[in-house]
């Protein structure tokens, strides 16, 4: 039967996690609290960096962008998911689905490139510290951030356009929590081999290329650290990279596992759990990782809390 004779869908139904009402209410409360912590945590990190002049460095300029990306990514998925937890009919319009895919895919891509940029920043800080301020000047940092945003957005626009040009016919049930790329592609009533090839190529370009740059940066960083004579010096050098390295391991791991081989991708349940990890847990964990494992951020928190305590004491007296 030809495609022209098929009925095209104008909306989709997201199947989500469970049809049980009690389970959905529990998940609603859990994810709502987590989302609020995510927004608050990232907002406080951005505010702290803005207020403390000691944090006006390239590393924290990149961290500000990372926090903005995390909040935006969570916002592209979580609010709609919360509404659907309490809705009987979990409908999302065709255009809303396309918009959600565009923003979530774009912001995810931006984060991967941004993490590679941050790895380069750490490489310069450890391997060429005397020229750090000369190399990582404001103009370069701005261009690197713009490159991250533009590359992620272009990839997302291409993927979204190709995906939503597929004929979806009468199949409108998306077995996922959101309009995720592979879940939408599976709805097509035509052969999607070419789409899967595009996904793989895109993954190599926007995921594996930054990952290889991160890997190369850390090979050079570790090599440099091992050449440092004093134990204290090695410890200090490693601490400058610890937070970023932790985020890199968490962020790249599951995405490589999910997208690099579409034909051997995880089960639908695993895909949903991975989406939850990136939409809720990663954006919440990032500010915590940078706060707990970073002495400069902890020092800035202590300074800010001390100032607030002093202000409150004056107001009380």
> Taking residues 101-114, what's their average pLDDT?
93
pLDDT at 10: 78
Q: Work out the number of other CB atoms within 10 angstroms of the CB of residue 266.
A: 14
> Taking residues 24-31, what's their average pLDDT?
90
pTM of the full structure? 0.85
Handedness of CA 148, 149, 152, 154 (dihedral sign): negative
For residue 43, pLDDT beyond 70? yes
DSSP states of 93-147: EHHHHHHHHHHHHHHHHHHHHHHHHHHHHHHHHHHSGGGHHHHT-HHHHHHHHHH
At 262-313, the pLDDT tens digits run 555 556 777 787 888 888 888 888 888 877 666 777 677 677 667 666 666 6
> Taking residues 81-108, what's their average pLDDT?
90
Residue 93 backbone zone (phi > 0: left; psi -120 to 50: alpha; other: beta): beta
- Distance spanning both ends of the chain, measured CA to CA: 82
> Is 278 in a helix, a strand, or coil?
helix
Phi (first) and psi of residue 92, to 5 degrees: -135, 130
List Cβ neighbours of 56 (8 Å cut-off, separation of 6 or more): 49
Residue pair 174/12 in contact (Cβ under 8 Å)? The answer is yes
Residue 152 tokens read as 């992620």
At 180-221, the pLDDT tens digits run 888 888 888 887 788 888 888 887 788 888 889 999 999 999
> Is 176 in a helix, a strand, or coil?
coil
pLDDT at 183: 84
Q: Out of 40-49, 64-73, 300-309, which region has the weakest mean confidence (pLDDT)?
A: 300-309
Choose between 166 and 63: higher pLDDT. Answer: 63
What is the Cα–Cα distance from 269 to 253, expressed in whole angstroms? 17
At 135-172, the pLDDT tens digits run 999 999 999 999 999 999 999 999 999 888 888 776 78
At 245-263, the pLDDT tens digits run 888 888 877 766 655 555 5
Alpha carbons within 13 A on the beta-carbon side of 184: 29
For residue 81, pLDDT beyond 80? yes
What is the Cα–Cα distance from 205 to 171, expressed in whole angstroms? 31
235, 218, 211, 122: CA torsion to nearest 10: 70
What would the CATH number be for the domain defined by 7-316?
1.20.1070.10
pLDDT at 307: 67
Question: Among all chains, which residue has been given the structure tokens 């595009």?
Answer: 198
For residue 53, pLDDT beyond 50? yes
Choose between 11 and 119: higher pLDDT. Answer: 119
Sequence spans of domains, the chain = 7-316
pLDDT at 144: 96
> Taking residues 77-101, what's their average pLDDT?
89
Q: What integer best gives the mean pLDDT of the chain? A: 83
What is the Cα–Cα distance from 77 to 74, expressed in whole angstroms? 6
What is the Cα–Cα distance from 12 to 271, expressed in whole angstroms? 18
For residue 28, pLDDT beyond 70? yes
Q: How far is CA 248 from the centre of its chain?
A: 11
pLDDT at 4: 46
Q: How far is CA 16 from the centre of its chain?
A: 21
pLDDT at 238: 80
pLDDT at 241: 83
């Amino acid at each position: 039967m030809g495609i022209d004779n098929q009925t095209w869908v104008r909306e989709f139904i997201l199947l989500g996690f469970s049809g049980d009402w009690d389970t959905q209410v529990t998940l609603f409360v859990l994810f709502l609290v987590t989302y609020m912590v995510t927004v608050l945590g990232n907002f406080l990190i951005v505010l702290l960096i803005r207020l403390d002049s000691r944090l006006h460095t390239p590393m924290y300029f990149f961290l500000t962008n990372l926090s903005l990306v995390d909040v935006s990514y969570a916002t592209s998925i979580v609010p709609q998911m919360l509404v659907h937890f309490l809705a009987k009919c979990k409908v999302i319009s065709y255009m809303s689905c396309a918009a959600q895919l565009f923003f979530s895919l774009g912001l995810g891509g931006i984060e991967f490139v941004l993490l590679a940029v941050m790895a380069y920043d750490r490489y310069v800080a450890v391997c060429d510290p005397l020229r750090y301020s000369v190399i990582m000047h404001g103009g370069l940092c701005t261009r690197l951030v713009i490159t991250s945003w533009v590359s992620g957005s272009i990839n997302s626009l291409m993927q979204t356009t190709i995906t939503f040009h597929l004929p979806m016919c009468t199949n409108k049930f998306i077995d996922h929590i959101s309009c995720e790329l592979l879940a939408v592609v599976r709805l097509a009533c035509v052969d999607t081999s070419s789409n899967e090839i595009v996904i793989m190529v895109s993954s190599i370009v926007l995921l594996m290329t930054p990952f290889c740059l991160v890997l190369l940066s850390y090979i050079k960083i570790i090599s440099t650290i091992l050449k440092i004579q004093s134990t204290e010096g090695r410890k200090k050098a490693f601490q400058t990279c610890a937070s970023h390295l932790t985020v890199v391991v968490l962020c790249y791991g599951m995405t490589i596992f999910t997208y690099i081989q579409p034909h051997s991708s995880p089960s639908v349940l695993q895909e949903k759990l991975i989406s939850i990890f990136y939409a809720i847990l990663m954006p919440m964990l990032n500010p915590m990782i940078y706060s707990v494992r970073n002495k400069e951020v902890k020092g800035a928190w202590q300074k800010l809390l001390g100032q607030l305590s002093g202000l409150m004491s004056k107001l009380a007296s």
